[in-house]
Amino acid sequence: MGRVSEKEKAHFIEIAYASLMEVECQLDIALKLNYITDKEFFEIDQESVELERLLSGLRSSVQKEKL
User: Domain coordinates of the chain in residue numbers?
Assistant: 6-66
Could you give the CA distance from residue 22 to residue 24 in angstroms, rounded to a whole number? 5
pLDDT, tens digit, 9 for 90 and up, residues 23-67: 999 999 999 999 999 999 999 999 999 999 999 999 998 888 766
Three-state secondary structure string covering 1-67: CCCCCHHHHHHHHHHHHHHHHHHHHHHHHHHHCCCCCHHHHHHHHHHHHHHHHHHHHHHHHHHHHHC
pTM: 0.81
Read off the pLDDT band of 1 (50, 70, 90): very low
